[in-house]
Amino acid sequence: MNTPTNEQDFHCGYVAIVGRPNVGKSTLLNCILGQKISITANRPQTTRHRILGVKTTDDCQVVYVDTPGLHLGGKKAINRFMNRAASSSITDVDVIIFVLDRTQWTDEDTHVLEKIKQVSVPVFLVVNKVDGLKEKDVLLPHLGMLAEKHAFTQMMPISAQTGEGVSQLEVAIEKLLPTAPPFFPEDQVTDRSERFMASEFVREKLVRSLSQELPYSTTVEIEKFSVENSVRHIHAIIWVERDGQKGIIIGKKGQQLKRIGELARKDMERAFEGKVFLQLWVKVRSGWADDERALRSLGYQDD
C-alpha cells in the first residue's frame, strides 16, 4: 500500500457489524478480510467478544467491529457481558451494518433496531444468506416491509458465504467514511493477539463438535503460549461447569478431545503461518458463566 502523499485523499473509519445471534456477522467479516479472524459456527452466540478486523487499501482503511449477537432472554453474567459488548460497539462508529437472516424478522431483530435508532450514523441493512433462498421472489416485498421500519442508508441482499454482493457493500461504505489518516499499520488485520486467537480456534471446534447445549457451558483459557525454534507451544484449558461435561468433551478413549485439538491446531498453523504444538486439558469450574469475577479472570473484560 502506498498511502497518498495528500492525506486529504485518504479515508478511514469504524464500521460496526451488528445483529442478533447467528445471522452471519463473523462470516461477513472473514469474507471482507479474505481470512479467518472471527470464529464461526451454525450455533447462536458463537461470538462472545468484540473483535476488530482491519482492511487497508491504497486510499482507505476500514476498521470493522464484529460484535456478539444482541439477544433477549439470557440471564447469566456472560449474556450481560455479550450484550454490553455489542451495544457499546454501536456508539462511536461512522457506519453500521445491520445484518439479517434472509426473510426472517424476530423480536431480537426489533431489539437490535431499537439500539440502532439511538445513534445517528448511516445504517446499511444487509439481508444475508440470500444464496439459501429457495423463492427469490419473496425478497422484494420483504425489503419493502423493512424499508418502513427505518430510514436505512441502503438495503442490500448479500451472501457472506459465497461473497455475493459483498464487494458492492464495501464500496458503498468506503464512500461514507471521513477523511483521516490510517489508525493501524497497513499490514495489521486485527487488534487481537495470537494468544486470544488460539483460544477462539479451540472454542470454535468445541461449538462445532458438541451437542446443542454443551458449548455454552465451555470456555477456553490459554495457560501457556511460547515460541521455541519457530514452533508455537500452546497449552489450553477447556473449562466446563459440571463434572459430567468433561466426559462428553474427552469422548471415548479421548478421541473427541484429540479430534478437537487436531482441527484447532490446523487452523492455528494456517493463521499463524508456522508449526504449532497444542496440548488440551478439560477442567471443571462450577458456575463460571454466571460469575463476574470468574469471567474477568477468563478474559471476559469490557473494552
Residue pair 13/20 in contact by the 8 Å Cβ criterion: no
Q: Quote the pLDDT of residue 7.
A: 64
Q: Quote the pLDDT of residue 151.
A: 95
Is it the case that residue 4 has pLDDT exceeding 50? no
Q: Render pLDDT for 71-88 as a digit per residue (tens, 0 to 9).
A: 998 789 999 999 999 999
pTM of the model: 0.92
Q: Render pLDDT for 132-169 as a digit per residue (tens, 0 to 9).
A: 888 888 899 999 999 999 999 999 999 999 999 999 99
- What distance in Å separates the CA atoms of residue 261 and residue 168, rounded to the nearest whole number? 38
> 41 pLDDT band (50/70/90 cuts)?
confident
Higher pLDDT pick, 258 / 137: 258
Task: Summarize the confidence of residues 91-108 as an average pLDDT.
Answer: 95
What would the 3-class secondary structure string for the chain be?
CCCCCCHHHCEEEEEEEECCCCCCHHHHHHHHHCCCCCCCCCCCCCCCCCEEEEEECCCEEEEEEECCCCCCCCCCHHHHHHHHHHHHHHCCCCEEEEEEECCCCCHHHHHHHHHHCCCCCCEEEEEECHHHCCCHHHHHHHHHHHHCCCCCCEEEECCCCCCCCHHHHHHHHHCCCCECCCCCCCCCCECCCHHHHHHHHHHHHHHHHCCCCHHHHCEEEEEEEEEECCEEEEEEEEEECCHHHHHHHHCHHHHHHHHHHHHHHHHHHHHHCCCEEEEEEEEECCCHHHCHHHHHHCCCCCC
Nearest one of 212, 20, 215 to 101, comparing CA atoms:
20
Q: Quote the pLDDT of residue 5.
A: 43
Domains of the chain: 7-174 (3.40.50.300), 194-297 (3.30.300.20)
Q: Quote the pLDDT of residue 6.
A: 55
Say which range, 13-17, 33-37, 39-43, 296-300, has the weakest mean pLDDT: 39-43
Task: Summarize the confidence of residues 99-123 as an average pLDDT.
Answer: 95
Task: Summarize the confidence of residues 243-262 as an average pLDDT.
Answer: 94
Is it the case that residue 1 has pLDDT exceeding 60? no
Give percent above pLDDT 70 in the chain.
97
Give percent above pLDDT 90 in the chain.
83
